[in-house]
Amino acid sequence: MDKDEVETILRALIASNKGGIPIDELNTEFYRQTMRDIPFLSLGFSSMYDFMRHVKQISTHRNKNGNVVYILKDNINLRHIVNLVEKQKDPITRHNNAKPLERRTKMKKTVNRRIPKTRNHSGAEYSTGDDSDALSDSYEEVRGPIKICSPPKNINIVHTPLCHGNQLIGDDFFLQLAIRNLKRPIWRKQHLGPLQCGLCISGLTVRGAIKKLQTVESLSNKVTIMLGAEDIYRGRSGDDIADDLEDLIKILQTRFSFSNNAINICTIPPLANIGIYNYTNTIVNIHAYNNAIRQLSIQKHCGLIDFFNNYTNPNYDVIYDYFQIDARMVSGSSHPYVLFNKRGRRLAVNLLKCFS
């Protein structure tokens, strides 16, 4: 299927839908008609949104409900189709006399049924695992409010939090796991300061982690690092953050004598409150940084845990089923985060288990 054919189908789909097609439904509509996903990768584009920006006679529009939809630009060759579509009744009114859909499953049979295993869409060159273990019935996590403890007597000896034998170094995504899943004590160094557990610190940047490591005296034998989200929120470029991450790895090797295979680095998950249309440069920085991490893992022979690929679909769209429903302020940052929900935390723990 060549580019012209794909564009023709997309224009026809958009023209035939009154009010346009929401961005997150376009690929679904395309699949219904062709039994294929929009082949943006094979056409030489890095994302579906990048491809759509190059499709002629299509633009975006925010409808009366506040949703961004694709619509056709005014074109004399397509105006007769648009006029016919505009004369259609709204879909809601046409459904009033429709026959109710038959319920396929009975509620009684589904209440205690386990959630089925989901497919991971990661690249074959990296080990990513699946979330089968994380979805087991034995999965437990801490509930209720966070209990803040006093700081340890010697904060320069840091051997926590551990997840399957690996010490975690990270920002709020790892800190959340330490609180809910690893059941480790949480503290603040000063009143109203950022919450932290070892080197999992709210709002921690890569440079901030480097500064912390320069005062730390002792670490565990293996470390897993996921940093960079806070840097992205602050507007730093992916290349600059990657340079800092490389410096951090050098400190682990020189100051703490870590071997390459004792270091795991993680791509950052998608930032679910960053949209492609309002934050195009930020999205570019996320992809650039994660690509640099993948290259760095190859150059340094470090382990790689690809969180980004596991929390997005093949079109790099966020899988929102893994995230909380809204952004929330965290203790160490002026930027709100959309952190993992329970299902997302399950998957994260299982990904970390793959490298234990």
pLDDT digits (tens, 9 = 90+) for 169-180: 999 999 999 999
In this predicted structure, what is the pLDDT of residue 335? 94
| Domains of the chain listed by start with CATH number | 3-94 (3.30.420.610), 148-353 (3.40.50.1110)
288-323 per-position pLDDT tens digit? 999 999 999 999 999 999 999 999 988 888 999 999
pLDDT computed for residue 304 by the predictor: 95
* Confidence category of residue 85, pLDDT binned at 50, 70, 90: very low
> Residue 280 CB: number of other CB atoms within 10 A?
14
Q: Higher-confidence residue: 236 or 49?
A: 236
Indicate whether 129 pLDDT > 60. no
For residues 123 and 16, which has the higher predicted lDDT (pLDDT)? 16
CB 335 within 8 A of CB 341: no
CA distances, 159 to each of 184, 195, 216, 219, 228 (Å): 11, 17, 10, 5, 22
pLDDT at 162 over 60: yes
d(Cα 306, Cα 323) in Å, to the nearest integer? 17
Mean of all residue pLDDT scores within the chain: 79
